[in-house]
Amino acid sequence: MRNRSHRSRAVVAVAAAALLGVAGCDASGGNSPAPRDTSTAHPSPKPTPTWNTSPRSLAAVGDSITRGFDACAVLSDCPEVSWATGSDAQVKSLAVRLLGKAGAAEHSWNYAVTGARMADLPGQMAQAATRRPELVTVMAGANDACRASASAMTSVADFRAGFQDAMDTLRAALPKTQVYVSSVPDLKRLWSQGRTSALGKQIWKLGICPSMLGDADALDSAATLRRAKVQNRVEAYNEVLREVCAKDRRCRFDGGAVFEYRFDTEQLSHWDWFHPSKDGQARLAEIAYRNITAPNPVT
């Protein structure tokens, strides 16, 4: 019995020493290496950017500005100098900048129509969608403000409905196509610049933007109020373009860059002193290219 008792105490002592040794190693951090993670680490895949800065095809929708109206001859379209899809070397259109000269000829299409208003945009979008472009450019709204009178301008609500309809039309056919939206130009500034030309004012009398350009030299309170109403409506249109575009993750507004650009007489048609000249078209192409190729929207 005595021997068994000694042996039991010896076993307990050894077990206690082992436990103390383990506890001591845990408390001090120990000298044993940490357990190895045998799982293989894989880097997380990079997310695909929502905005592609190098689209491989584009279609343009809009109005006379995108048709190059009055840039080459009086009261005539000149699509070869269009800021969006033109081939003219002086302009170096957005399509040429993005796709190269040969690529622009094969993979860009211009569905803009001189005189078009926002209500016409859904139809143009439907045409553009048939080409399945990776990018659609939008420049519309000037003709909604350029009416026979200030009271005839497109309402802000109708303008919004038209633009939303155009976006919905495109999205129904092409959910992933990108959209670049240009702001409406500052019509009041164009009046201020163009009224210095006697020839320009004669062309204006043929019916170019009467709400802003009518009675070009009149500075009385009625004329000033009329122009202010047009200007306020243009600013409201631009806010609509920004808001509707912001709801679409593949739409990018120019941040008001075209509205804020200070066109001077070199950038205006020398026939009507209102539409962009070749130089003005080149400036529009620069603005669009800078916005589209930026990693993030230009603000």
Euclidean distance between CA atoms 200 and 231, whole angstroms: 20
Strand partners, 253: 181
Phi/psi-derived region of residue 223, left when phi > 0, alpha when psi is between -120 and 50, beta in every other case: alpha
Identify whether 69 is part of a domain: yes
Identify whether 22 is part of a domain: no
Contacts (Cβ under 8 Å, ≥6 apart) of 299: 255
Identify whether 214 is part of a domain: yes
Identify whether 4 is part of a domain: no
Identify whether 3 is part of a domain: no
Identify whether 196 is part of a domain: yes
Euclidean distance between CA atoms 251 and 242, whole angstroms: 10
User: Containing H/E element for 109?
Assistant: strand 108-110
Name the nearest CA neighbour of 137 among 50, 239, 65: 65
Tokens of 19: 């436990």
CATH number of the domain within which 124 lies = 3.40.50.1110
Number of folded domains in the chain?
1
Can you tell me which residue has the tokens 């500075």? 219
Strands 108-110 and 135-139, sheet pairing: unpaired
DSSP letter, residue 214: T
Q: Show pLDDT as tens, one digit a residue, over the chain (299 residues).
A: 444 444 444 443 434 444 334 333 333 334 444 445 444 555 555 555 689 999 999 999 999 999 999 999 989 999 999 999 999 999 999 999 999 999 999 999 999 999 999 999 999 999 999 999 999 999 999 999 999 999 999 999 999 999 999 999 999 999 999 999 999 999 999 999 999 889 889 999 988 999 999 999 999 999 999 999 999 999 999 999 999 999 999 999 999 999 999 998 899 999 999 999 999 999 999 999 999 999 988 76
This prediction's pTM: 0.83
Euclidean distance between CA atoms 84 and 137, whole angstroms: 7
* Residue 222 domain boundaries: 58-293
Identify whether 84 is part of a domain: yes
Identify whether 35 is part of a domain: no
3-state secondary structure of 179: strand
